[in-house]
Amino acid sequence: MTEQNSETLAIGEHDIGPDASLLIVDDDGPFLRRLARAMETRGFHVETAESVAEGVAKSKAHPPKYAVVDLRLGDGNGLDVIEAIRQRRDDTRIIVLTGYGNIATAVTAVKLGAVDYLAKPADADDVFAALTQRPGEKAELPDNPMSADRVRWEHIQRVYEMCERNVSETARRLNMHRRTLQRILAKRAPK
């Protein structure tokens, strides 16, 4: 390995290792392309997929050493991609991304072999740190943790999705007036 090449693979204290294959599965095209470019600049050999079917096919053809998988995809659940990777390779470091902070799904993802769970929008530095974290190494506290308003908003969005975007049912489950819920849903996510 050349000196320049080893420099690419070791950024800071984290080492990618000789197998730098990374599969990123996300149905948000712009986010997927941005993250792929950012991971390539950090030394990964990136493949992308925008659906469960494409992610499963790519993980069967070339099981990656690293994977970043969104849980909610247009054609199904990212957990299916994790299972497909695990059937072919048991040493893959898998990071799960989701826009909805769902503890039950996080537990399932970890049981299937994910090593970390990041809430969207996760930036490239967070993803890189999670992928290259050594076993037993504790993650640093985030510089900008979610605010209480953001946590509340994420919870409302999760319940809204679980109710299949039915405002009346969501309002009933959250014990909230329907108009209040509609106002919250119409606003942008708080920081």
Given pLDDT bands bounded at 50, 70 and 90, which one contains residue 1?
Answer: very low
**pLDDT tens-digit readout, 12-24:** 445 788 899 999 9
Report the pLDDT value the prediction gives residue 65, as an integer from 0 to 100: 95
Residue 172 identity (one-letter amino acid): R
Measured at the CA of 155, the angle between CA 150 and CA 159, to 5 degrees, comes to 150
Question: Which token pair is 61?
Answer: 């053809």
**pLDDT tens-digit readout, 172-188:** 999 999 999 999 888 87
Average pLDDT over residues 78-96: 91
Report the pLDDT value the prediction gives residue 137, as an integer from 0 to 100: 55
Peptide bond into 121 cis (omega under 30): yes
Given pLDDT bands bounded at 50, 70 and 90, which one contains residue 104?
Answer: low
Report the pLDDT value the prediction gives residue 5, as an integer from 0 to 100: 42
Are 7 and 13 spatial neighbours (Cβ–Cβ below 8 Å)?
Answer: no
Residue 138 scores a pLDDT above 60? no
Given pLDDT bands bounded at 50, 70 and 90, which one contains residue 47?
Answer: very high
Average pLDDT over residues 14-40: 89
Q: Is 150 left (phi over 0), alpha (psi -120 to 50) or beta?
A: alpha
3-state secondary structure of 44: coil
**Full-model pTM:** 0.66
Percent of the chain past pLDDT 90, that is, above it, reads 41
pLDDT higher for 15 or 168? 168
Chain Cα centroid distance, residue 96: 4
Between CA 171 and CA 182 the distance in angstroms is: 9
